[in-house]
């Protein structure tokens, strides 16, 4: 049985949103708390990457802040390696309606997988930490898909699209129908 660390990526600037979207409220609950509630039953432990946080505990992006989601995934992979986990299941702080079988979907796809429609949702082996370090030290692409390609990760789909909140309008629309995807 794989030991899995759940990682909520929350270090972004939220420029399109205009304020800290991790703390934005949806029906009285912050987005980050909603994501934690959906992810916690699917993993062995949970962290928040890219910000100070108490529960779940926060860890820094690696090697520095402002490297986008790849810096958050790198921080999670290194934290997982230091604490004896085999895999990291990464999700963004702005996807509050994650499926309850997300871990099973990604695990069934292989040793490394991600969601085609939202690649920051990923299933990453801890052994990939050296690859992500190399990508972050080069002047190349810092896209999650570049990392996924470099480690041979498989793109997969869920039964329905996952809502991703980028603007206040996205949040308002999600509030009207919490399980519906926000159109892009």
**CB burial of residue 111 (10 Å; 0-12, 13-18, 19+):** middle
DSSP, residue by residue, 56-81: TTEE--SSSSSS-HHHHHHHHHHHHH
What was the pLDDT predicted at 139? 78
What was the pLDDT predicted at 178? 53
Candidates 3.30.9.10, 3.90.550.10, 1.10.645.10, 3.40.630.30; CATH matching 4-176: 3.90.550.10
Best CA proximity match to 72, nearest among 89, 50, 88, 43: 50
Residue 183 has pLDDT above 60, yes or no: no
What is this structure's pTM?
0.92
Over residues 54-83, the mean pLDDT reads 95
Inter-residue contact 111 to 46 (CB < 8 Å): no
Q: Which of 10-14, 154-158, 163-167 has the lowest mean pLDDT?
A: 10-14
Inter-residue contact 122 to 156 (CB < 8 Å): no
Over residues 140-166, the mean pLDDT reads 91
């Amino acid at each position: 049985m794989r030991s899995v660390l759940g990682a909520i990526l929350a270090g972004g600037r939220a420029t399109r949103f205009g304020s800290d979207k991790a703390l934005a409220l949806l029906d009285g609950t912050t987005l980050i708390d909603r994501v934690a509630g959906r992810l916690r039953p699917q993993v062995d432990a949970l962290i928040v990457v890219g910000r100070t946080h108490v529960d779940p505990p926060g860890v820094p992006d690696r090697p520095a802040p402002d490297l986008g989601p790849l810096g958050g995934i790198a921080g999670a992979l290194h934290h997982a390696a230091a604490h004896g986990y085999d895999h990291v299941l990464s999700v963004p702080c702005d996807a509050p309606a994650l499926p309850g079988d997300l871990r099973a979907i990604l695990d069934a796809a292989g040793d490394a997988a991600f969601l085609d429609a939202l690649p920051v949702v990923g299933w990453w082996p801890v052994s990939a930490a050296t690859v992500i370090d190399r990508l972050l030290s080069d002047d190349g692409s810092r896209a999650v898909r570049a990392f996924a390609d470099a480690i041979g990760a498989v793109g997969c789909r869920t039964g329905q699209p996952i809502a991703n909140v980028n603007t206040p309008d996205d949040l308002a629309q999600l509030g009207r129908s919490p399980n519906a995807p926000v159109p892009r």
